[in-house]
Chain A
Amino acid sequence: QKEVEQNSGPLSVPEGAIASLNCTYSDRGSQSFFWYRQYSGKSPELIMSIYSNGDKEDGRFTAQLNKASQYVSLLIRDSQPSDSATYLCAVHPAGGTSYGKLTFGQGTILTVHP
């Protein structure tokens, strides 16, 4: 089992729709969770961080965390073509020798079509 798994893509949604991106992780003690957006040929850009159970909203983005289910998701409301990118889920482990080392999922490619 991969440490961080994302729903396989690519995901295609029409402009204005809600895009839902999902991620599960295996380390039950993980404490910090991040979503990065990566445009083709560019470096990852942090768009959301979440540390406690529940929802966290920032503009059109909502991150949801459920530690009991080891599940984190990203919702993008009113999707725009400019949201088309690869979305990376990253999980920070509980500590010990892995402290500081983010584990990334393979990414989900999102395409928003007009």
Chain B
Amino acid sequence: GAGVSQSPSNKVTEKGKDVELRCDPISGHTALYWYRQSLGQGLEFLIYFQGNSAPDKSGLPSDRFSAERTGGSVSTLTIQRTQQEDSAVYLCASSLEGSQPQHFGDGTRLSIL
């Protein structure tokens, strides 16, 4: 079956612009996660959605970052007024539910000029 789908695969934008990154999880997966991976670094947790529960936003680095998940499926991560330090690969993962193995999409490589 289809895996986690992320779009766009690459995004180049100017500093100060807003960007939206999209994630379509595996069908039937109730949990959805966003991570960030900077060059040569480990995975940094950003936000976690589980069903209809309030999301765990504890990893969002600033109030410029927000995410939503509509209808318990597709999620959008929005970064407002982008900064150069936001340049990274943004990875989305989903799992059947919170304690199950997470499966990753191919990521969005974001470059801020």
Q: Which residues of A contact B (CB under 8 A)?
A: 31-32, 34, 36, 42-46, 49, 88, 90, 92, 97-107
Contact = CB atoms under 8 A, between A and B. Distances in A.
Contact of A88 (B43, B59, B106): B43
A44 B104 contact: yes
Contacts of A103: 45
B43 A32 contact: no
B13 interface: no
Contacts of B41: 106
Q: State the 10 A-B residue pairs at the shortest beta-carbon distance, nearest first.
A: A100-B98, A43-B104, A104-B43, A106-B42, A100-B48, A49-B101, A43-B107, A46-B101, A44-B104, A43-B106
B99 A99 contact: yes
A99 B48 CA distance: 9
Contacts, number: 53
Interface in B70-113: 89, 91, 98-99, 101-107
